[in-house]
Amino acid sequence: MRELIEMIPCHRIPERCLHINGKPMSLCTRCFAILLGYIFTPIAVFAALSIPIWVSILMAVPMLIDGFTQRWNWRKSSNSIRFLTGFTFGIGQALFISTVVWKTVEWLN
């Protein structure tokens, strides 16, 4: 399992990771939250959720703002913000995937 997690592209900076029993997780907080958001994908697909694509794009914006403003040293982010923006991004991608699946199903029928 660890080898699988290590294949995920992530910087794994310890101070940006959640800690369990004093040890940093194998993924940073943002990547971990994105993966949690991805868990929503099968639920969205089976529930036949289809939303306008711009909603998914809008859900990515907070993470992009947080990531780039931190990267450009305009401010410091926190693990709470990283988690929230990553989770929102992951759910947005799950909804995007569901929308594409159902639009494709409609197109094929």
Percent of the chain with pLDDT over 90: 69
Distance CA 60, CA 97 (A): 14
Domain count, the chain: 1
pTM: 0.86
| Alpha-carbon 99 to chain mean position | 17
Per-residue pLDDT averaged across 75-90, rounded? 95
**Which range of residues forms the domain containing residue 83?**
2-108
pLDDT tens for each residue of 10-62: 777 888 888 889 888 888 999 999 999 999 999 998 998 889 999 999 999 99
Whether pLDDT at 84 is above 90: yes
- Own/partner contacts of 18-23, CB < 8 Å, gap of 24 or more, are 18/79, 18/83
What percent of the chain has a predicted confidence (pLDDT) above 70? Answer: 98
Q: What is the residue type of 98? A: S
Distance, in Å, from the CA atom of 75 to the CA atom of 43, rounded to the nearest integer, reads 36
- pLDDT value at position 15? 85
